[in-house]
Structures are given as structure tokens and as C-alpha cells.
Amino acid sequence: MDLHDRVAVVTGASSGIGRQFSRDLINRGATVFGLARRMNKLEAIRETLGDAFHPVTCDVREEDSVTTAFDTVLDAAGQIDVLINNAGLGIFGSVDDYSTEDWDTLMETNVRGVFLCTRAAVPTMKAQNEERGFGGHIVNIASIAGLLGNPNIGAYNASKFGVRGFSKSMMKELRDDGIKVTCVYPGSIETDFFDVAGADMTDHPMKPEDVSSTVLHVVQGPDNYLISEVVMRPLRPRG
């Protein structure tokens, strides 16, 4: 997809790789609606990226919040060409100490949020397919933790395996509507993620720019084929 004059929705745009996706999409000519809960962070990003970045308050766990956010996008732009389901978090810890509240937070953000935002975008993308023969592209940011289990990240593993399963289903369900679905499985990236998760970052993580350039390459691919999955890892995570 040529991103010039396209409209992208990026969830979790207030930080980390979501902020980088927003920057790189705008640099390629797209308009970005950046969704997150922290409006002060989104406003600061607009000051840097300019008027092509539209901050939209949204808690992806909440159905009403997602509905309102996508209504805002459609009222302003009338189209959604790219949706990057990126909002997410980790909370790490051993299963016997893990609270039900933390489990629910991960499932509601990482899995329910992807479902709610996908459901909100798909009718528009299907209509676009009817009009112009190409619906759009949905990119789901899972994690290497959606492919491999590891100790003390059981809830995060379960949520990202969930994103993987949902993505695989959506890829087949939506392809005949001209909607591409790609699931991305990154290893560690240098963002605020590890502070939120309460874990140490690996010594040599990927940079947000590394992940974003790969995702943008995938999104800019020709209309006749789809890269459905991408696995990315730091080359030497521990040096």
C-alpha cells in the first residue's frame, strides 16, 4: 500500500513502538489517529509530529471508549486504511503470587482490546473493499511470548498466544474482503514495557525504529499478496 494520503489508527500511540509507528507512517504521507489513555503524552507527540497526528483518548479495554474513538476517526477522516493493534502491557510474576486483577488487566488489554478495535474497524474496511477493491491492513503486535512459553510470564504468554490465535483466524476470515491481517512477534524492544512489567530489559534489545521499519515494509507491500506473520529478535540479546 502506498501510504500517501492513507489513514492509520495506531493503538498505544503514546509511547514506545506505537509512537514510532506514528512517526514513520506520517513520514510516508499518512494521517495517524493515535489512541491511548494518556492524553498529555499524545498531545506532546502532536507537538513533535504536527497536525498529521490526531490524539484520541481511548482505553482499549472499554467497549464504549473504543466505539467513541473509532466514531471520532470516521467523523474526521471517513476512512481507515491501516489499523495497528499495538496497545498492550506485561505484568510478570509467578503463578502462585499472581493476582486475578492483573490477569484480567492483561487479558482485557492485550486480547479484548485487539478484538474490540478490530471489530470497530472491519465494517469500514469491508465497505472500502466494495468501493475500491482493497479493504485495508490490520497489524497485530503480539510478542515472541505468543510463540514460546517461559517461566513467570504465564498471563502475558496466555494473552499473546490469544493474539496469535485471533490473528490467524482473522487472516483467513478477512482476506476475501481485501483486508490483510499480519501478526508480528517481536523479542525485546527498548521501551517503557519493562518498567511497566516489573522486569529487567535484556542487555541488547531491538530499537523501536527496527520494529517500525519492518512493520512499515510489510504494510507497504503490493496489494496482491500478504505477509501474514513476522518474527523479530535481537541478534545478541545478552551481548
Ligand X SMILES: NC(=O)c1ccc[n+]([C@@H]2O[C@H](COP(=O)([O-])OP(=O)(O)OC[C@H]3O[C@@H](n4cnc5c(N)ncnc54)[C@H](OP(=O)(O)O)[C@@H]3O)[C@@H](O)[C@H]2O)c1
CB of 192 to ligand X, least distance (A): 4
Closest separation between CB of residue 185 and ligand X, Å? 8
Cell numbers 510516508 correspond to what residue? 28
What x-and-dash track marks residues 109-138 binding ligand X by CB under 6 A?
A: x-----------------------------
The C-alpha angle 211, 212, 217, rounded to 5 degrees, equals 105
Among 77, 107, 158, 196, binds ligand X (CB under 6 A): 196
Q: Which stretch binds ligand X (CB under 6 A): 43-51, 84-92, 165-173, 213-221?
A: 84-92
Residues noted as catalytic: 156
* Closest residue to ligand X: CB criterion: 16
Q: Which is nearer to ligand X, 36 or 178 (CB)?
A: 36
Nearer Cβ to ligand X (111/178):
111
What are the helix and strand counts (H, E) for the chain? 8, 7
Note whether 89 binds ligand X by CB under 6 A. Answer: yes
To the nearest whole angstrom, how small is the minimum distance from the Cβ of residue 24 to ligand X? 14
Binding mask 7-26 for ligand X (x = CB under 6 A): ----xxxxxxxx--------
Give CA–CA dist 73/68, Å, rounded. 9
Query: All 3 cell numbers of residue 226?
Result: 500478504
Distance CA 62, CA 208 (A): 27
Do 143 and 110 meet the contact criterion of CB atoms below 8 Å apart? no
Interatomic CA distance for residues 35 and 176, integer angstroms: 28
Give the three-class secondary structure for 92.
Answer: coil
32 binds ligand X (CB under 6 A): no
Q: Which region, judged by CB under 6 A, interacts with ligand X, from 35-43, 75-83, 123-131, 174-182?
A: 35-43
CB closer to ligand X, 32 vs 58? 58
The smaller minimum CB distance to ligand X, of residues 38 and 132, is found at: 38
Least separation in angstroms between residue 5's CB and ligand X is: 25
Our finding on whether 157 is near ligand X (CB under 6 A) is no
Q: Which long-range contacts (CB under 8 A, 24 or more apart) does 60-67 make?
A: 60/11, 60/12, 60/35, 60/87, 60/109, 60/112, 60/113, 60/114, 60/116, 60/117, 61/105, 61/108, 61/109, 61/112, 61/113, 61/116, 63/116, 66/113, 66/116, 66/117, 66/120, 67/120
Q: Does 41 bind ligand X (CB under 6 A)?
A: yes
As a whole number of angstroms, the distance between CA 227 and CA 6 comes to 19
Q: Return the DSSP state at 26.
A: H
Positions touching ligand X (CB under 6 A) are 11-18, 36-38, 41, 58-61, 86-90, 109, 141, 143, 186, 188-189, 191-193, 196
